[in-house]
């Protein structure tokens, strides 16, 4: 990433190689900065994203955590985004940092008409967790000293592997902690509460049944 210092409107050049999770973060960062142009001192920001035509060619890690995730209702991804947001069991246009939420990340940014995920069966191949001071910029708590009263966010990333072709990469969930409280990342039942009827989270040993299914 580099900043071009000119007398013209300030331009942010964001460069990413389609190799790993950093590519997806670059997409987020460019959109986040562009959306906050009014908050930055002086001038206009223009975000230029340089990515391969195929989007982020992330390699899903191998392995098996024993967890499974299934798409159980159509998931709409808004135009210009590469993720859908779930909070309190609903699809959301934006997340509130005051409460837990999850995001389903895909490889490519949605076109003007948006995109939709109608189906998918996934193995959670790996779970990565870390502590953040900001879930948007994903600045690690290790990199910044903070007081006890500052919020901390437990981020967990469930890498989703499918035998069928899929645009889905991972499910990212955030557990916020305020007022000197702290705890673990979201556990599977808590993740299910956030994703609601759209995704089913289960153990590999459990039958694949939608969380909204009712006995006949």
Quick: pLDDT tens for 37-55. Answer: 444 443 333 333 333 334 4
d(CA 133, CA 140): 6
pLDDT at 113: 92
Quick one: pLDDT at residue 142?
A: 75
What tokens appear for 161 in the block?
A: 């592997």
Q: Which residue has the higher pLDDT, 33 or 148?
A: 148
Average model confidence (pLDDT) across the chain: 78
24-33, 87-96, 179-188: least confident range? 24-33
Quickly state the pLDDT bin for 143 (edges 50, 70, 90): low
Give the Cα separation of 85 and 96 in Å (integer): 10
> Which residues are within 8 A (CB) of 189 and not within 5 positions of it... i.e. 6 or more apart?
201
Is residue 188 over pLDDT 70? yes
pTM of the model: 0.72
Per-residue burial over 45-68, b = 16 or more CB atoms within 10 Å of its CB, e = otherwise: bebebebeeebbebebeeeeeebb
Q: Assess whether pLDDT exceeds 80 at residue 119.
A: yes
For the segment 83-108, the average pLDDT, to the nearest whole number, is 96
């Amino acid at each position: 990433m580099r900043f071009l210092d000119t007398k013209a409107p300030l331009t942010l050049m964001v460069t990413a190689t389609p190799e790993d999770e950093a590519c997806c973060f670059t997409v987020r960062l460019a959109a986040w900065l562009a959306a906050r142009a009014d908050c930055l001192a002086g001038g206009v920001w223009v975000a230029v994203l340089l990515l391969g035509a195929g989007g982020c060619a992330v390699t899903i890690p191998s392995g098996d955590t024993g967890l499974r995730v299934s798409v159980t209702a159509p998931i709409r991804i808004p135009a210009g985004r590469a993720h859908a947001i779930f909070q309190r069991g609903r699809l959301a246009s934006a997340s509130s940092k005051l409460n837990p939420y999850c995001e389903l990340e895909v490889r490519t940014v949605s076109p003007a008409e948006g995109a939709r995920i109608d189906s998918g069966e996934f193995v959670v191949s790996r779970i990565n967790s870390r502590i953040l001071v900001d879930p948007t910029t994903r600045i690690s708590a290790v990199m910044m000293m903070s007081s006890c009263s500052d919020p901390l966010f437990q981020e967990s990333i469930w890498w989703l592997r499918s035998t069928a072709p899929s645009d889905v990469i991972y499910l990212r969930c955030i557990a916020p902690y305020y007022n000197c409280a702290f705890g673990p990342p979201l556990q599977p039942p808590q993740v299910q509460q956030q994703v609601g009827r759209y995704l089913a989270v289960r153990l590999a040993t459990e039958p694949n049944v939608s969380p909204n299914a009712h006995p006949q």
